[in-house]
Amino acid sequence: MSTSSGTPESWISSFCSLLGHEYFAEVSEEFIEDDFNLTGLQTQVAMYKEALEMILDVEPEDDEDEEEEEDEEEDESIEGGDNRMRQGERRNHSRIASDLSVIESSAEMLYGLIHQRFICSRAGIQQMSEKYELGHFGICPRSNCEQARTLPVGLSDIPGEDTVKLFCPSCLDVYVPPNSRFQTVDGAFFGRTFGALFLLTFPEYDLTKRGADVLAGTRVTEDDKDMLNGMYICNIAPGLGASKIYQPRIYGFRVSEVARSGPPEDEDDASMNLNGRPIRRLRARRKQGQGGQNGSPMTAEQNGVESEL
């Protein structure tokens, strides 16, 4: 780390304070400095060494333009080397203006990949839980989830495939972040594992509580402490279930699942539909024509299903 007496922002904290980077945790330097944590990243990131140096702020002359102030401060602290450093800096700028942007982008990529690993570590997931408690990751847009807090996840661990998504533990679904500034954040920087691991690590969060109650530090109460498969029962998809699934209705009547406009998920509809006369007729006709229908995957499948039953 730099020895400057001022308090210039480190690369990491300036990266995390950028617009659209609100979801990121600040990876601790100990984590990055441990080579074991970086295993295999050399092959994934171009200019790996330079990028790593940039993240750790170890070679100030490699820093981007906006951190020149920091450079100068450090230059002064290096006795005798001032002149040389300035020359070096000038040379640096004339030589590799384009290189800097390459390094900058690969530093972001490298940081993201380290971040993906970091937030699954003990320190990282703790940091993310603090952010979660503060509601940094937004709320579920689904109406029946009643503003449950979401978690940032990726749909792939490979960078460049998809942007960051929000995982709602209440309905176990993923959503596009409401603000377009997150469309530039790679989902791989959070990874597929984090969302599920978070819930397993912190089962005591009461997921049924709304985003507004977050600051009260709501946890599962003693009454509900029945565990099932590592989760509290009240925390298993609290946003789903009979009364939490939208039932389409027209003038108060449920839309039948045989309607063209789509089957609802309510199983009670089966009995209702079977009472209809037109349906009986359909079934009768089907029995007559059973032999005659050929080539339809539907009938073939149906036979299989019946024998299975």
Residues that bind another protein (CB under 8 A): 141-144, 147, 155, 165, 167, 172-176, 178, 192-193, 195-197, 199-200, 228-231, 233, 236-237, 240-242, 245-246, 248-252, 255, 257-265, 267, 270, 273, 279, 282-283, 286, 297-298, 301-302, 305
Give 108 or 257: the residue with its C-beta nearer to another protein. 257
How many angstroms separate the CA atoms of 168 and 19, rounded? 23
Which of residues 7 and 122 has its CB atom nearest to another protein in the complex?
122
**Tally of residues, the chain:** 309
- What is residue 8's DSSP assignment? P
Dihedral (C-alpha) 122, 123, 128, 134: value to the nearest 10 degrees? 120
Torsion sign (Cα): 146, 152, 156, 160: positive
Q: Residue 19 or residue 270: which is nearer to another protein going by CB?
A: 270
Tell the smallest beta-carbon distance from residue 156 to another protein (Å): 11
Phi, psi of 199 (to 5 degrees): -65, -35
State the nearest-atom distance from the C-beta of 246 to another protein, in Å.
Answer: 5
Least Å distance, CB 230 to another protein, is 7
- Whichever of 63 and 257 has its CB closer to another protein, that residue is 257
Please say which residue, 181 or 283, places its beta carbon nearer to another protein. 283
State the chain's maximal CA–CA distance in angstroms: 100
CB of residue 241 vs another protein: minimum separation in angstroms?
A: 6
Q: Cβ 14 to another protein, closest distance in Å?
A: 29
CA atoms of 139 and 142, how far apart (whole Å): 9
Minimal CA–CA distance to 24: which of 207, 141, 199, 186?
A: 186
